[in-house]
Amino acid sequence: MSSEDSTAHSGRVVNTGDGYERVDDDDSDRASPDDPDGDANDDLGRAGWVLVAVVVLAFLIIPGIIYLRPTAPGELGFRFLAAMLVLPFLPALLLGVTAVWSLVAGGE
């Protein structure tokens, strides 16, 4: 196959398992009739937004509360060592449970 022959066709070559096949990229740019804008997969859905909210809670809000009010667990009756072990564990546990739920709910 010469270089002139390979540049004559637009598209890319993919391995199909049985051999190589040329695929045109022109079809991938067109939007489907159900989705005129071509952005149906851009929405996170309910499970995705819940996961985003829990990530913000676990990485910004809870650490911010610990940073701004380090005496808050002591005011609630927790010892310092127990509070500093439990407070980071709760958002991590919540994040893990939410991630598994969003994975299971996102498959539907």
Q: Are 20 and 14 in contact (CB under 8 A)?
A: yes
Tokens of 33: 């009739």
Quote the pLDDT of residue 36.
55
Stretch 12-17: mean pLDDT:
78
What letter does residue 71 receive in the DSSP assignment? T
Quote the pLDDT of residue 53.
92
Q: Are 78 and 86 in contact (CB under 8 A)?
A: yes
0.75 cut: is pTM over it? no
CB atoms within 10 A of CB 77: 7
Quote the pLDDT of residue 37.
56
pLDDT at 95 over 80: yes
For the ranges 9-13, 17-21, 27-31, 36-40, the one whose mean pLDDT is highest: 17-21
DSSP per-residue string spanning 11-48:
SEEEE-SSSEEEE-SGGGGSPPTT-TTS-GGG--HHHH
Beta bridge partners of 13: 22
SS3 8: helix
pLDDT tens-digit series, residues 22-77: 777 665 555 555 555 555 566 878 888 888 999 999 899 988 888 898 888 788 88
Residue 93 identity? L
What letter does residue 70 receive in the DSSP assignment? T
